[in-house]
Chain A
Amino acid sequence: MHVIVCIKQVPDSTKISIDPVTKTLMREGVESILNPFDEYALEVALRIKDEKGARVTVVSMGPPQATAIIREALARGADDGVLLSDRAFAGADTLATAYALTTAIQKINPRPDLVLFGKQAIDGDTAQVGPGVSEDLGFPLVTYVRDLKIADDGTYTVETVMDAGIDVLEGKLPAVMTVVKEAAVPRFATLAGWVRAKRAPVTVWTAKDTGADPARLGLNGSPTKVVDTFPPPVKTGGRVVDASKDPAAGVAAIVALMKEKKLGVA
């Protein structure tokens, strides 16, 4: 069995702030991390490896420094990893990203059993690339997986988290699945894992290496165009009461407003 996990390096968005003067992002010093949802996907893959001896390959697209997350995945137990890194990929929207990843997956193995994604990346929050790859690969799509059991004949039972509750589905591999947080608690890399990962070669492919159609990559292959960016509209907000030295004044203001608007109090 061969499981391919698509992973992404993202800025640790809890640490991004906005420059109050220029209203631009202050990215200096912001750490890059493995997208948390991808950690859960990787863990699901590693558990399949533990149980069934599957080969686990990770794939990412990003700048050369994204080899860091490939090595992190190797340290945790992935068998091999590929980074797609080329100027031709840059500026890709979700359609172009899904296409690029698909060309890499097909080169790694034209018929993998399972392709896993985190349910979304925390920088773009679109959740669109996993479904896009399922279409490009022609594999069935299963989203928001919180539990996955695979039988020896390749049939699987999954629990998926829907808005109204949990749906239990049955199907047969291959499939593309996206994974939610509840699916698995990620393991830590062991020291031996890090030592191995540090020495392991990380394969880096350019667009030429995957044989992708250049017209479908990067900016050229992206139907969506960002035409403007702007800081979020500055709202003036309402009244502010400084209750730092006098909590009672703050409480009185809240109770008065709730009474006025008939919210929870008569």
Chain B
Amino acid sequence: MADAPIFIDPEKCKGCTKCVNNCPFGALSMETRPERKQKLAVVDGGACRACNKCVTSCPFKAITMVETEKSGVSDLAAYKDIWVFAEQDGGKVLDVAFELLATGRKLADKRGCRLCAALLGHNLGDEPKRLIAGGADVVYVADQPELAQYEANVYTEALSKLIEEHKPEVVLAGATGVGRAFFARVATRCRTGLTADCTRLEIAPSPDGKTMLLHQTRPAFGGNIMATIMTPDHRPQMSTVRPKVFKKAEPDFSRKGEIKPEVLELAKACTRLVKAIRDPNAVNIQDASIIVAGGRGLKKAENFALCEKLAKMLGGVVGCSRACVDAGWIDVAHQVGQTGKTVCPKLYLACGISGAIQHLEGMKSSDTIIAINSDPNAPIFGVADLGIVGDVFEILPQLIAALEKETAKQEGR
């Protein structure tokens, strides 16, 4: 058996089994020992994921985390302010940056610090002012030709230099294609922690109560479980958040803020963009107001025609769960969920989707959710405003017919 990241003190363990019942990973069990009356909790080091659950659940403080040495930065207090990386494309700041500013505003108010935006690009016009209207107190702007186009290596250097100079306590970025790529490299350069795809962010006391930390919550360990993660000893505390997870605020152009131009000395780019292929007809499920999504319950690729027909009637687009992409039934551009896109349409109609947590995380904030599934215990019903227990192959054709009738009625009037 491998050594474990936790230590169970046999002197203190009373054999109450609380830790065994609380362990999300089945890493703990009770063993009978000849030398003691009560059973003793033992840990399987291979299964233990150091999640801390048993430490907090033990009534006798018998379990501790094994930590030999602490690394980290020594001058935690030198790091101030909450930052949002304001990603832009073609000189326009993306919506996700405003979503992060809206949440960042609440975090900064709770922490009692400034909310700052870091904007990299070229010919940025009035975008810094829009960031102030979106909630920023300070906007650091590096407006230079080398930054016009995203390049992983140049962007890594630019943002790392700003962080090194100004020492923010927290830096948030959108989990976009760009954000997920270079932001992880920035975190590595800063030798700090980065938590991907957070679904909730809060400023709250650290476990030892000595300071306030960013509590980052995300679905974790590849299963149906949420984890709250902190970066206690390193700075900045960094997180990515997917587009559409948070809602942006109404812009307030009466807000006052400071625009600080930055001139960065940057190394040459490692790659050169030779062509940008943009398909105006490409499906964009993130901007759709109605999504008709199919899951494993559709059984085969051809049956997506039902979803397509319905989506077309409603002026919406087709979405899907990961299982359908893995099975090769539909292109990944349609995928909703943790591995796909997070969406927030006015109507999400889930057809034959059972609702794994990874999928629910990608659609649960939709305004109205209707789910059709044959299994009455499907988790999707837990987030649906209306759940229909039934056979999608019976219900969808009838629904299409009924909606056609409704449309005909309207037109006949």
Contacts and interface: CB of A to CB of B under 8 A. Distances in A.
A251 interface: yes
B156 A142 contact: no
Contacts of A234: 382
Nearest to B341: A163
A93 B239 CA distance: 14
B223 A244 contact: no
A229 B227 contact: yes
Nearest to A132: B188
Contacts of A235: 364, 382-383
B152 A95 contact: no
Interface string B344-379: 001101000000011010001001101010101000
Given A25-B25, A144-B177, A247-B395, A95 B192 contact: yes
How many chain A residues sit at the interface, stated as a range, is 35 or more
A91 B71 contact: no
B382 A237 contact: yes
Determine chain A's interface SS by DSSP, over half rule. Answer: mixed
B177 A231 contact: no
A60 interface: no
A90 B45 contact: yes
B52 A261 contact: no
B267 to A, nearest CB: 11
Contact of B45 (A27, A87, A125, A127): A87
Contact of B230 (A14, A224, A241): A224
B52 A223 contact: no
Interface residues of B, number: 122
A25 B223 contact: yes
A226 B226 contact: no
A147 to B, nearest CB: 11
B192 A171 contact: no
A221 B50 CA distance: 13
Interface string B1-44: 01101000000000000000101111000000000000000000
B182 A141 contact: yes
A239 B381 CA distance: 9
Given A25-B26, A228-B56, A255-B399, A142 B271 contact: yes
Interface stretch (A16-24, A49-57, A70-78): A16-24
Contacts of B232: 225
Interface string A105-123: 0000000000000001011
A125 B399 contact: no
A257 B391 contact: no
Given A165-B279, A264-B314, A220 B68 contact: yes
A162 B272 contact: no
Given A90-B2, A126-B197, A244-B391, 5 more contacts: A27-B47, A63-B2, A126-B196, A143-B181, A252-B402
30 contacts: A63-B46, A90-B5, A95-B191, A120-B339, A122-B339, A127-B184, A131-B152, A131-B181, A132-B188, A140-B152, A140-B270, A141-B270, A215-B71, A219-B5, A219-B66, A221-B71, A222-B193, A227-B228, A230-B228, A232-B224, A240-B389, A241-B387, A241-B389, A242-B389, A243-B395, A244-B390, A254-B372, A254-B388, A257-B368, A259-B406
Interface of B: 2-3, 5, 21, 23-26, 45-53, 56, 65-72, 89, 152-153, 156, 176-178, 180-185, 187-189, 191-197, 207, 215, 219-234, 270-279, 282, 290, 313-316, 322-323, 326, 332, 338-339, 346-347, 349, 357-358, 360, 364, 367-368, 370, 372, 374, 376, 381-391, 394-395, 398-399, 402-403, 406-407, 410
